């Protein structure tokens, strides 16, 4: 009788370990899927930015530095994007978002720019893409949090450590860009 109880416990523990392992695999795949969803929207943004900058640069002759920063941030983000959520790619995307935010804010000072049909259409497409990126980032960060909880919580942390599961990085604004994002936008209503 005692042998059957031990065998039952061993089987129960084995099934529990399998369940934890499968949960960790599922979470790792959800994190990867979350990044791929962001990646799809980032590709669209990479394609829209040069078109927008090209149309806008004639109107914003005094803002060439801002336009240059947007293009440089786009190029850094595109080269840092390896298809996986790495610290470099996450930081580069955060910097690109911040520079686009500055471009949108500056465009408010140019009434003729806002009246141009092509600019309006590109800005709307880019704004829609930015919204989709924001939702995808939120999904990614929520999934990364669930993965990190599983990797750090007992007893799944034992399985995670044994099989090489690691914490996921969050998608966040780099420290240097955080101050720029928190600055109030100056709007001239004259």
Note the pLDDT of residue 32. 92
Note the pLDDT of residue 51. 82
Residues 165/74, Cβ–Cβ less than 8 Å = no
Backbone φ, ψ for residue 169 (5° rounding): -80, 145
Note the pLDDT of residue 81. 79
Q: What is the pLDDT of residues 58-110, one digit of tens each?
A: 766 666 777 888 888 888 888 887 766 677 787 888 888 888 888 877 777 77
Which homologous superfamily is 2-182 in? LemA-like domain (1.20.1440.20)
Q: Domain map of the chain by residue range?
A: 2-182
Helix (H) or strand (E) holding 124: helix 117-152
**Long-range contact pairs involving 83-92 (C-beta distance under 8 Å, separation at least 24):** 83/35, 83/36, 83/39, 84/32, 84/35, 85/31, 85/34, 85/35, 85/38, 85/140, 85/144, 85/168, 85/169, 85/171, 86/169, 87/169, 90/169, 90/170, 90/171, 90/172, 91/174
| Residue indicated by tokens 């935010």 | 101
Note the pLDDT of residue 185. 41
Residues 146/58, Cβ–Cβ less than 8 Å = no
- Low-confidence stretches of the chain (pLDDT < 50) are 180-182, 184-190
Residue in 64, 67, 189, 60 with CA at minimum distance from that of residue 113: 60
Residues 55/67, Cβ–Cβ less than 8 Å = no
CA distances from residue 117 to 52, 60, 66, 96, 148 in whole angstroms, order as listed: 12, 16, 22, 24, 46
Residues 171/41, Cβ–Cβ less than 8 Å = no
The DSSP call for residue 34 is H
């Amino acid at each position: 009788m005692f042998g059957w109880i031990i065998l039952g416990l061993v089987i129960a523990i084995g099934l529990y370990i399998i369940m934890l392992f499968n949960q960790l695999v599922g979470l790792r795949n959800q994190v990867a899927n979350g990044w791929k969803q962001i990646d799809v929207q980032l590709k669209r943004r990479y394609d829209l930015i040069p078109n927008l900058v090209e149309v806008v640069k004639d109107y914003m002759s005094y803002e060439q530095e801002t336009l240059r920063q947007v293009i440089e941030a786009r190029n850094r983000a595109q080269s840092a994007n390896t298809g996986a959520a790495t610290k470099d790619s996450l930081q580069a995307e955060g910097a690109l978002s911040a520079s686009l935010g500055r471009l949108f804010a500056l465009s408010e000072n140019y009434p003729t720019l806002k009246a141009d049909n092509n600019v309006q259409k590109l800005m709307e497409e880019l704004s829609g893409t930015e919204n989709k990126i924001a939702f995808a980032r939120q999904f990614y960060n929520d999934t990364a949090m669930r993965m990190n909880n599983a990797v750090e919580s007992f007893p799944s942390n034992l399985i995670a450590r044994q099989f090489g599961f690691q914490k996921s990085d969050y998608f966040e604004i780099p420290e240097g860009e955080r101050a720029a994002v928190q600055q109030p936008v100056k709007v001239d209503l004259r």
